[in-house]
Homo-oligomer: A and B are copies of this chain.
Amino acid sequence: MRPGGSSADGQGSRGDGPGSVTIAYIAESAGVSVPTVSKVLNRRSGVAEGTRARVEELISRYGYRKPPGTRSNVVELVFRELESMWAVEIIRGVERVARRNRVGVVVSEFGLHDSAVMSMDDTVGRRPQCVLSVAQLSEAERAQLTARNIPFVVFDPIDELPDDVPFVGATNWRGGRAAVRHLVGLGHRRVAMISGPDHPFCRARVAGYSSALREAGVPADPGLLVRTLLTREDGCAAARDLLSRTERPTAIFTANDLQAIGVYQAARELGLSIPGDLSVVGFDDLPVVAWMDPPLTTVHQPLAEMAIAATELALAIGRGEEVPQSGLDIATSLVVRESTAPPAD
């Protein structure tokens, strides 16, 4: 249809003018997929050396450059669900970097079901500088972004990701270890943990709990490790069960602050005082936990710093810069408030 193009639909077109080729044309010429060419362009791993060399030769021969001006002046920040109380912290961090770079931040809530597909189409259609996805990014979504040459970073991933997917997370293992070191340091020996579903970040927090007990020579009691959902209600139910036992724990470490709020409720119901009868440590440091009665000792997740790092990483990848690492975990820190004290006995 278009003079000079090798196909009508643009997929195999050499582009709009002399010296300009599309990424699809390079892929076709090299006999590889579009995502593979994109990986080579973005200096990402996961491409065999021979393939990489062939693609680079073609890129150089055709003088391929990322098309200028094809990206709009926004970054896309994608949430599955905006419910979470930490969304604002994340938005603020992204916003701070975006403002410095004079780009806008489009915030989307994808939902967990069918609408996600349509939402990703809309996101891609807005041609953002980059995409930051909170917690998740499916293989199909990653392929869609790679095919359009839109760089992405997964923020605080909840699932296992391939090694070449850039991410920014928190030091969950260190955080769990710091929480339980604090408790055993106060003299606690019957330390329970209420954890969440079998996601890597929960596994890391549990591993930190186990490490700190081991370090302190406290024998692990598998009965004191409970797995449930990361909600206030489930934290409350798990604590009710733990605290009704004859040999009840003197301290509970929870995988997140919502569960810790549930532990407070269970303790109230059972007439146990915090920290007199029970020490509690949470994880997250939601803005509200400092106002609880007593204020909660918890592991601070540096959400704003994580968001800043994720945005800078994504923008750097988008500019084609060589980034020193494709993923990083930002340090958590223990915030000691008034919900922890030495055990009574």
Which A residues lie at the B interface, using CB under 8 A? 72-74, 76, 82-85, 87-88, 91-92, 95, 99, 102, 104-109, 115, 119, 122-123, 125-126, 232, 261, 264-265, 268, 287-288, 291, 293
Contact B73 A82, beta carbon cutoff 8 Å: no
Contact A91-B104, Cβ < 8 Å, known A115-B99, A261-B291, A293-B268: no
A76 to B107, CA, bound (A): 10
In the bound complex, do residue A119 and residue B99 qualify as a contact, i.e. CB atoms below 8 Å apart? yes
Residues of B within 8 A of A232 (CB): 291
**A95/B73 in contact, CB under 8 A:** no
In the complex formed, the residue of B with least CB distance to A83 is B88
Contact of A95 among B76, B107, B268 (CB under 8 A): B107
Q: List the B side residues contacting A264 at CB < 8 Å.
A: 293
Given contacts A105-B107, A108-B104, A122-B102, contact A88 B95 (CB under 8 A): no
Set of chain B residues within 8 Å of A108, measured between Cβ atoms = 95, 99, 104-105
Instruction: Give the most central of A76, A83, A99, A115: most B CB within 10 Å.
Output: A99
Say whether, besides A92-B109, A291-B232, A104 and B87 are in contact (CB < 8 Å).
Answer: no
Residues of chain B contacted by A125 (CB below 8 angstroms):
73
Q: Report how far A218 CA is from B84 CA in the complex, Å.
A: 43
Write the chain B residue with the least CB distance to A119: B99
B268 touches A104 (CB 8 A): no
Q: How far is the CA of A288 from the CA of B258 in the complex (A)?
A: 10
In the complex, are the beta carbons of B85 and A87 less than 8 A apart? no
Q: B119 and A107: CB pair below 8 A?
A: no
Beta-carbon nearest neighbor of A109 in chain B: B95
Residue of B84, B91, B104 near A82 (CB, 8 A) is B91
Contact among B88, B102, B115, B268 for A85, CB-based, below 8 A: B88
Subset of 19 A-B contacts with CB under 8 Å: A73-B125, A74-B104, A74-B126, A76-B104, A83-B88, A85-B85, A85-B88, A85-B288, A88-B88, A92-B109, A99-B119, A99-B122, A105-B108, A107-B107, A232-B291, A264-B293, A288-B288, A288-B291, A293-B293
B73 near A126 with CB under 8 A, answer yes
Residue of B nearest to A81 (CB): B92
CA distance A74 to B73 in the complex (A): 12
Most-contacted residue by chain B among A92, A232, A261 (CB, 10 A): A92
Q: Are B74 and A91 within 8 A (Cβ)?
A: no
Contacts of A76 in B (CB 8 A): 104
Report chain B residues within 8 Å CB of A99: 108-109, 115, 119, 122
CA distance A109 to B97 in the complex (A): 12
Nearest chain B CB to A291's CB is how many angstroms away? Answer: 5
| A294 nearest CB neighbor, chain B only | B268
Distance A108 CA – B105 CA, assembled complex (angstroms): 7
Q: Which residues of B contact A293 (CB under 8 A)?
A: 264-265, 268, 293
Q: How far is the CB of A107 from chain B (nearest CB, A)?
A: 5
